[in-house]
Amino acid sequence: MLTSLQNPLVKQLRKLHSAKERREQGVFIIEGTHLLQEACRVKYPLATVCCTPQWQSRNQLLWQQASQQAQRGEIVSEEVLQAIATTVNPDGVVATAPRCLERSQVPCNGLTLALENVQDPGNVGTIIRTAMAAGASGLWLSANSVDIYNPKVLRATAGQWFRLPIAISPDLRATVSKCQQAGMQVIATQADAPLTYWEVDWQRPSLILLGNEGAGLSADLVAQSNLRVRIPQNAEVESLNVAIAAALLLYEAQRQKRFSTAQ
């Protein structure tokens, strides 16, 4: 059992709290029982799994599965687990996994999202979870958005991070052009847009553009869109949370598709 905070593995895992270290090491943290279950369920490759003896005794089947799926499994003390975890009260298990999102293929059809410079990990994680729940085909994230491997992003997705196709776009304008060439309508969200989101034909293949929490979408992306839409709101409210905006648009699209199918 690992008990020393000076152990080389422990030092390496503690460094993964930093986005820079996650990039340089090429791995990220999967923290908590639920996220580990989801990773094992989809057979996401694991590098290391560390757990306390108490967690192992309560989760023997999951420990066995994760250990077989990982390159290395270690029993660690409560102190070591607390040191490598990113949460204040970890539930007893922390794993690491290689950055593999480059394997993801976000299709240029169906209903997809593209996030430009979205910085809050809770917002991005909530959008991923909502997109999966609403039946979206995938999500693009601009390179200047929050690190998609941020532990807070993963936790906010409630495990859907491992299921929704996600890709980092080095050039979001080029990605938008690619989707348009494939026949998708590109819809930009803007407070003063001429159309409400209820007036859009969401049965068409659609790419939703969502921008930074404070600045919104860049002028270039707005100009590139096919439609600009707004979400009606009280004049005294400046804007909606980006994750809430995403949910409203996604579920309007789902409502229209279900209504059409039912007829």
Q: What pLDDT, on a 0 to 100 scale, did the predictor assign at position 263?
A: 57
Enumerate residue ranges in the chain where pLDDT < 70.
Answer: 101-104, 260-263
Q: What pLDDT, on a 0 to 100 scale, did the predictor assign at position 183?
A: 97
For residue 262, give the amino acid letter: A
Check whether residue 70 and residue 85 sit in a common domain. yes
Check whether residue 61 and residue 172 sit in a common domain. no
b/e 192-227 (16+ beta carbons within 10 angstroms → b) = ebeeebeebebeebbbbbbbbeeebbbeebbebbeb
Enclosing domain of residue 140: 103-262
Q: What pLDDT, on a 0 to 100 scale, did the predictor assign at position 101?
A: 60
Check whether residue 70 and residue 137 sit in a common domain. no
Check whether residue 109 and residue 53 sit in a common domain. no
Report how many domains make up the chain.
2
Whether 42 maps to a domain, the answer reads yes
Q: What pLDDT, on a 0 to 100 scale, did the predictor assign at position 237?
A: 72
Q: Decide if 95 contacts 30 (C-beta within 8 A).
A: yes
Give residue-wise pLDDT tens across range 178-220. Answer: 999 999 999 999 888 999 999 999 999 999 999 998 888 999 9
Q: What is the CATH number of the domain that holds 207?
A: 3.40.1280.10
The whole-model pTM stands at: 0.93
Tell me the C-alpha distance between 168 and 178, whole Å. 14
Q: What pLDDT, on a 0 to 100 scale, did the predictor assign at position 239?
A: 74
